[in-house]
Amino acid sequence: MKKWVSLLAVLFLFLACPTPLLNTARIAYFNQKDFPRAKKACLEGIKTEPNQYEYYTILAGCEIALANWISAAKALGQGFEIDSAKAMDWINRQRDGIKYYYQGFYYGGEKLYEAGKYDEALKYLRYAKMLNPDDPRAYILVATIENKRGNKDAAKKEWQSALKIDPENPDVLFLVGDVFFNDQKYDSSLKYFNKAEKFYTRKYNRVAKILFQNAPDLQEKMTPRIVELYRDKKFDELDNLIKVNLGIAQGYQGVKRNIEQLYKIADGLGKCYYFAGLACYNLKKDSLALKYLKKVLDYRPDDLDALFFSGEIELIRFKNYPEAMKYFKRVTELKDDDMDAWYYYGVCYYHQKEYKKAIEILENELLRRNPRHINAMTYLADAYRQIGNTKKAFEYLMKKEKLQGEKK
């Protein structure tokens, strides 16, 4: 009898005690924070114990620490597939375990989405929702994927879930507005864009209050420049601006997180104003459309689309040629091969009866880039007629007729 008791005790110790590799993985991961070593121990252990869920949870933790998001999601997913209850219990026992391991599923899903691997992305995002059903990010990304695949009802359901969790989330409100916009339901889209703008503005004001606490009068002037420098990764120049102009001695590193937030919020505001402007444009609310589009330029002064549409509304709807010309001129400076901008730029001069300047733009700039631009020839013919050069006027009329004949 004693012999059997001894054998059972040995068996219990064998089953209860971790194997050497699992013990190494635990020590390297928890005690030493040596993530490459812990990862190596896990990968070796999986070869001999492929159904030991803890190898996968530790491996996922290592991959998260090393920012290998897709590998983290896959490892964590394998752990859940082996034993979801034990894997979940293991995560719950870690400090901030839910928050930490959620990153693996969410960012892994995000990277797979960016790679166009939608099915894999959805698999891990569903795990993310299971791990933390109160975090709206996974719902938003699932909705984005479903919307991209044309599953609009599924997308709306996910967005509604996200808004139940966080009804003031401007990212979700914008995306819902975008769905209505693409369905050409412009009135409905405008309501969501306006709600999103409200909450983006609230966030923006909180961040701006910190950044511009020493120089509140510079907020409107400096925000576009800060956004531009951050976007272009000109961190030395940004650091100098923060120290000198904003009076923050720590420079960029001292307010790095705030700058990141400012950039993201400014981008969100820019998108809200832009699509609100286009919604109004389609609703024939020209004054309101122009107001929104000009607001885009407060945050993204070099936004080509906002510049172009602002110019087009000023030119076509309001006949405000000097103002329209400013926008088209800026577009040509930013995008030298924008034929429409060159065309409208010249047309603005024509309507102000500055015929020589119109000729200079349409002939030397536009036709040099696109010698078959028929509409430009129409204006050139009349511009030359207005300054008394009937020979050139006739020449362009003939060229125009020839091109029109070739198109028939």
Over 70: is that where the pLDDT of 100 sits?
Answer: yes
pLDDT for 2 equals: 46
Q: Are 117 and 33 found together in one domain?
A: yes
Structure tokens at 33: 């924070």
What range does the domain containing 210 cover? 170-301
Average pLDDT of the residues in 49-63: 96
CB contact at 8 A, 347 and 327: no
Query: CA distances (Å), 99 to each of 88, 318, 402, in order?
Result: 12, 53, 69
What is the model's pLDDT at position 15?
Answer: 41
Do residues 92 and 34 share a domain? yes
Instruction: State the total domains in the chain.
Output: 3
Q: Are 97 and 91 in contact (CB under 8 A)?
A: yes
- Would you say residue 185 lies in a domain? yes
Q: Is residue 116 assigned to a domain?
A: yes
- Give the separation between CA 151 and CA 140, rounded to whole angstroms: 14
Residue 376 makes CB contacts below 8 A (sequence gap 6+) with: 343, 346, 362, 363, 366, 367, 370
CATH code for the domain in which residue 81 is found = 1.25.40.10
**Rounded distance between C-alpha atoms, residue 88 and residue 60, angstroms:** 13
Question: Do 275 and 310 have their domain in common?
Answer: no
Boundary (domain end) residue, out of 83, 103, 132: 132
Residue 285 CB neighbour total at 10 angstroms = 16
Same domain? For 307 and 356 the reply is yes
Mean pLDDT of the chain: 92
Q: How confident is the model at residue 182 (pLDDT cuts 50, 70, 90)?
A: confident
Q: What pLDDT score does 408 carry?
A: 64
User: pLDDT tens digits, residue range 311-326?
Assistant: 999 999 999 999 999 9
Crossing angle of helices 339-351 and 374-386, in 10° steps, is 20
Supply 282's token pair. 């389609």
pTM of the model: 0.74
Output the pLDDT for position 406: 83
